[in-house]
A and B are shown apart, each in its own frame.
Chain A
């Protein structure tokens, strides 16, 4: 069953702008992860944030987690055309297997 839900479903921005994607979930979690998927390819892990962390950075990526609101956000700064992809959040279910949302489709126009 689906756990995370991303918002918006699709996002289109110009190169150089920041992109923000949100993820909401329903039950308590141990950690939340963000993945990226280029069209028709496998998913690539971007970043993991644990339930006791509030913010994490990796290069141009910034992830926040608000466990009181059961939500997370992924910020991509200074976006590039190569960032065009689908982005998924994944939360661990009670048995530690992950559940993915339907994803946000990001298009970065050059």
Chain B
């Protein structure tokens, strides 16, 4: 257990559905991240929240909508997804680094999403 939980672990949804992924961290971290992991591709950073404010959005399509209501919870709202959005979605948390500091990220187990 890394201290980061994700629900659901598996999700199958149609292209017209709306669903949400949830992430919760119990580590007292102040930064949280969403990553997308597709087969044989590098991890793609989707969103970064630091102190509950979004600090980075790597040109993610608007059909993915993040929400960070507090430093312990992170959501990813999904709507009108495409089959190519099928992937493992990983949440991570860390302390937010300063200019000279280094940090490690703690990952949740991921949500395996299949879009039909």
Which residue of A42, A50, A95 is within 8 Å of B109 (Cβ)?
A: A42
| Residue B102 is within 8 A (CB to CB) of chain A in the complex | yes
Report the stretch among B13-21, B39-47, B60-68, B71-79 that lies at the interface: B39-47
Q: How many A-B residue pairs have CB under 8 A?
A: 56
| Residue A25 is within 8 A (CB to CB) of chain B in the complex | no
Interface contact B104-A96, CB-CB below 8 Å: no
Bitwise interface map of B from 83 to 105 toward A, beta carbon under 8 Å scored 1, else 0 = 00000101010000101101111
Report the stretch among A12-20, A62-70, A77-85, A97-105 that lies at the interface: A97-105
- Expressed in whole angstroms, the Cα–Cα distance for A44 and B108 within the complex equals 9
In the complex, which residue of chain A has the Cβ closest to the Cβ of B41?
A: A102
- 13 residue pairs of the A-B complex, CB under 8 angstroms, read A35-B107, A41-B110, A42-B4, A42-B107, A44-B2, A44-B107, A45-B106, A50-B102, A95-B55, A97-B33, A100-B43, A102-B40, A102-B41
For the complex with contacts A30-B102, A31-B102, A103-B42, 17 further pairs of A-B residues with Cβ separation under 8 Å are A30-B100, A33-B104, A40-B88, A40-B110, A42-B6, A42-B109, A43-B43, A43-B107, A44-B2, A44-B107, A45-B104, A50-B102, A95-B55, A96-B97, A97-B45, A98-B105, A102-B41
Give the interface of A toward B (CB within 8 A): 2, 30-31, 33, 35, 40-45, 48, 50, 88, 92, 95-103
